Amino acid sequence: MVKYYLSIGEVDAPVVVESYINLGCPYCANYFEAAYTTFEDYIKNGELKHVIKHDDRTNGRLLKGTVANAHLNYEKPEKSYKHMRELFKTQKTWTSSYDVLLTTLNRQLFLKEDQESGERSKHARADIESREVTKVPTVFINGAKFSFDSEDSIEGISDLLKREIKNRLTRTE
């Protein structure tokens, strides 16, 4: 069975964050780092599930992000989550050329193209269209669109996420 999304955390966590991102998007890099560090304890405590939905695009840097995503194995979510973080941290380097991208994927991270990536992409595209996601990053928390300035700092985004998660957890008690 194909895993269409990268999912980290307990299935029945009271807070579910859906992040529509692309590995080649610089705004997604800031959002992802903010989310990664903010969500860590909530995930460990079973309070949050983070579902990453990669928006495969075919233009410029975003196409390179699509190629990178095709190399992630969603059957190993924790490992792929860490690879995603590493790819975002080194994004400025590998988005410069396909040679650098493939070297990063194959020789540094030892990743090979996942055979399920095409099926994943089709499924994600249908979901993206049904939710009317037009840009990345786009985030939903418990089904509601979460508004934030994607050009904000990592700290600014993290503060907003913490506030929203605490608010959601308070509502479920």
In tens, the pLDDT along 65-86 reads 999 999 999 999 999 999 999 9
Q: For residue range 106-116, what is the model confidence (pLDDT) as tens digits?
A: 999 999 998 88
Please check whether residue 167 lies inside any domain of the structure: yes
15-21 vs 144-146, strand pairing mode: unpaired
54 in helix, strand or coil?
Answer: strand
Q: What is the CATH number of the domain that holds 129?
A: 3.40.30.10
Please check whether residue 127 lies inside any domain of the structure: yes
Q: Classify residue 132 as exposed, middle or buried by CB count within 10 Å of its CB (0-12, 13-18, 19+).
A: exposed
Please check whether residue 52 lies inside any domain of the structure: yes
Q: For residue range 13-60, what is the model confidence (pLDDT) as tens digits?
A: 999 999 999 999 999 999 999 999 999 999 999 999 999 999 999 888
Please check whether residue 148 lies inside any domain of the structure: yes
CA dist., res. 102 & res. 98, Å (int): 6
Please check whether residue 1 lies inside any domain of the structure: no
Structure tokens at 173: 């008690």
What domain count does the chain have?
1
Mean pLDDT of 95-120: 92
Residue 97 has pLDDT above 60, yes or no: yes
* Predicted TM-score (pTM) of this structure: 0.93
Please check whether residue 24 lies inside any domain of the structure: yes
Residues in Cβ contact with 117 at an 8 Å cutoff, skipping those fewer than 6 apart: 69, 70, 71
**What's the one-letter identity of residue 131?**
R
| pLDDT score, position 60 | 87
Structure tokens at 24: 């080649």
| pLDDT score, position 1 | 53
What's the pLDDT band for 2 if we cut at 50, 70, 90?
low
Name the residue range of residue 16's domain.
Answer: 6-172
